[in-house]
Chain A
Amino acid sequence: MALNGIRMGAGRWRGESSEMENTMAQSLRENLHLVSDPSNLDLSVEEVFSMMLGAACHPVEEAPVEEDETITAVVGFGGLLSGACVFRSGGTTALEIAGKLTGMEFAEIDDTVKDAIGEVCNMLAGAWKGRIPDLSANCGLSIPAVITGSNYQIHVQAPEFKLHHIYRFESSSFEVTIICDGLQ
């Protein structure tokens, strides 16, 4: 999947002086351990689910339950770091998450469910980058893109690094992946 085509939102990198860019890029490289720290992702997921859904959520080792229909939301990063935050779950889990978030009941993956999952991914991406000082102000987020269907895979060629965690939410599970395909 090409990440470059994702349109950046208002928080995009707004070309400062090249000296400042170089300093920030250097700082980010020196603090790469913070970017790739798995606990930042876990804390971000727990925070979003606790605050917005009132639900506990924790990382697990087991493989997610595969369903015929899956939903994937992608929020792109641009600026000092380029890449994406990807949320993926089965359809049943998506309905449960959307239901918790909105206080509504859903029988199928409609536009509201897609919107809800896109927003969850958006908040996960924002919470994750907000935990890394160099990225907070210098890495913008795209508008969420949501994909539904079955038997599809998202492939990013040779990412610089990738964090991929599975989380349990009540009786369901979902995956969150942070892909970094380039540092400025």
Chain B
Amino acid sequence: MSEMRVLIVDDSSVMRKIVERSLRQAGLNPMTVFEAGSGVEGLEVLSNQSVHLILSDINMPSMDGLEFLRQIRARNLAEGVPVVMITTESSEEHVKQAILAGAQGYIRKPFTAEQVKERVLPLVAAVVGG
């Protein structure tokens, strides 16, 4: 697999590292990770970097994950790049909102590395043709 470029958006630096570790365990290597602590920071990264995959929390200060997702789509940033929400919010309503905003995947916290693999790898394969 060619080098993956991944943006992880979460206000918790610990959670960003855990998500990165899960992705590496899922086989996403080599991988360059860009980190953002809010939706605002995520948009800044996307205005300067191209990525293959975005994983985002929902509950964050400054700009939450759903608004971040809407802004990505509205600004035509990261076109065709799959977005997976990773969040403690697990209701059907939240999943529906995420899908309407343009998310392709949804992982509930707490999660296992296996769940990350199952939900993320098919999306990555579709993007990089692997």
Contact = CB atoms under 8 A, between A and B. Distances in A.
Interface in B78-130: 87-94, 108-112
Contacts of B58: 9-11
Interface stretch (B1-9, B10-18, B28-36, B40-48): B10-18
Contacts of B59: 9-11, 122, 140-143
Contacts of B17: 102
Interface string A1-31: 0000001011100000000000000000000
Contacts of B112: 51
B21 interface: yes
A122 B18 CA distance: 15
A118 B60 CA distance: 13
A115 interface: yes
Given A10-B67, A11-B58, A137-B93, A126 B109 contact: yes
Contact of A51 (B13, B93, B111): B111
Given A10-B59, A102-B18, A118 B12 contact: yes
B64 A130 contact: no
B14 A112 contact: yes
Nearest to A119: B12
Interface residues of B, number: 29
B60 A125 contact: no
Interface of B: 11-15, 17-18, 21, 58-61, 64-67, 87-94, 108-112
Contact of B66 (A10, A118, A127): A10
A54 B94 CA distance: 27
Interface string A105-138: 0000000100110110011011100100000110
A118 B21 CA distance: 19
B111 A126 contact: no
7 contacts: A11-B94, A48-B110, A101-B14, A101-B18, A123-B88, A126-B88, A126-B90
A91 B88 CA distance: 25
A69 B88 CA distance: 29
Nearest to B66: A10
B91 to A, nearest CB: 3
B9 to A, nearest CB: 12
Contacts of B94: 11, 137
B126 to A, nearest CB: 27
Given A10-B65, A11-B58, A136-B91, A127 B14 contact: no
A130 B14 contact: no
Contacts of A112: 13-14
B71 to A, nearest CB: 13
Given A122-B88, A123-B109, A127-B88, 7 more contacts: A11-B58, A11-B94, A102-B14, A122-B109, A130-B91, A136-B91, A143-B61
